[in-house]
Amino acid sequence: MTTDVAVDFGALGEDFFRNPHPVYAALRAQGPVHRVRVPEGAEAWLVVGHEACRAALTDPGLSKNWQHASPDLPLARLSAGENLLSSDPPDHTRLRGLVSREFTPRRVATLAPRVAALTGELLDAMLASPDARADLVEALAFPLAMGIICELLGVPSLDRDSFRTWAEQALSSPDRDTRTAATTAMTRYLVATTDEKRGRPGDDLISALIRTTDEDGDRLSADELIGMAWLLLVTGFETTVNLIASGVLALLRHPDQLNALCADFSLIDNAVEEMLRYDTPVETTTYRFTTEPVEIAGTTVPGGGELVLIALADAGRDPARFADPDRFDIRRATGGHLAFGHGVHYCLGAPLARLQAASAITALLRCCPGLTLDTVPTTLPWRHGLLVRGPRKLPVRWVRA
């Protein structure tokens, strides 16, 4: 079934961005598909519930290609160039094959020492705070995630603050012109960067993507290279920042789980999976558009480029899939969560995000005894929009040794 009147997410205010789960749960109780209005003003079809979300993620009638979007949708494109999030098979299959050659689990594993080293440097700087207080987003989550992805791609450190601003505006601003301007600025920079690396290649990922070819001699076009660099850079750090910040917040708000992890750090990998389920860093998927009338969980969504959003955040809180889903439990069997998607669009950077979260949170808890929140949770500022989710700031304090 659908709601008779669209739910206007932009009108729900700060409480919704801080905790959207009760709203999604209320919608889920009515049915799996709902007509809504997103903060950018566009009308969309929202899919909730684990089973319906999982099915929609692989529905061939839902396209990621912006060419299928209705021209009446007041939306700014979320990315520059052609990339994995704006293409469908067989184009997506070709792009993923080329990129995955240079983004293998083996390559990610080689980053572990650098992740550990940078985490140590950042924590040393944080621990030097004279009052044993810090904003964990600014002190650890952001500089770690941004530092690793920029080193991987070969982006100069002086440009990282600009990238952060552009990414936040492109992904979270409700203003279409602001989102477009941020995407345009980032595109200009990436064009200049890739042009420079063609002339002076290095051992970074962008240089590798310029060189990579398949057995038939296929390679990324200039537009595809820009799109893939944009995708890896923006999603590569945004997901990790929000995973670390939201994960630590969940631990601090559940002292029994924090104590259990500190007593047995072999639980860290499963703890990260529970963090992904409990507060997924990607709240709803990037845009999908109907290429034909599509039936989703008994509701027919019209063709003609209708916008469809899949609520990954709600899929992880569905009691039909996870018992007592609002309970944070680092020993929970979390298999089947959809935080990184499902099907052909499953997140290519998932292993890197998991690596950084496990490394950073383990090191943080080991060196900061008595870590606690330094504010009332209901006053924390959260990211706006429906795409990425996480606290903008996370004030903490600890016991000085």
Angle 310-311-317 from CA coordinates, rounded to 5°: 140
Residue that wins the pLDDT comparison between 265 and 96: 265
Which pLDDT score is estimated for 78?
66
Q: What is the tens place of the pLDDT at every residue in 114-129?
A: 999 999 999 999 999 9
CB 347 within 8 Å of CB 239: yes
Q: What is the mean pLDDT of residues 153-179?
A: 78
Mean pLDDT of the chain: 90
Q: Which has the minimum average pLDDT: 180-184, 271-275, 282-286, 340-344?
A: 180-184
pTM, entire model? 0.92
Classify 62 as helix, strand or coil.
Answer: strand
**Cis omega (within 30 of 0) on the bond before 71?**
no
**Percentage helix, strand, coil, to 5, in the chain?**
55, 10, 35
Residue 255: other Cβ atoms inside 10 A: 10
CB 42 within 8 Å of CB 308: no
Strand-pair partners of 37: 8, 43
Set out the domains of the chain in order of their start, with CATH numbers.
Answer: 7-397 (1.10.630.10)
Q: What is the 3-state secondary structure (H, E, C) of 50-99?
A: HHHHHHHHCCCCEECCHHHCCCCCCCCCCCCCCCHHHCCCCHHHHHHHHH
- pLDDT at residue 84 above 70? yes
Q: How confident is the model at residue 1 (pLDDT cuts 50, 70, 90)?
A: very low
Which pLDDT score is estimated for 60?
93
Q: How confident is the model at residue 157 (pLDDT cuts 50, 70, 90)?
A: confident
Q: Which two tokens stand for residue 300?
A: 């027919």
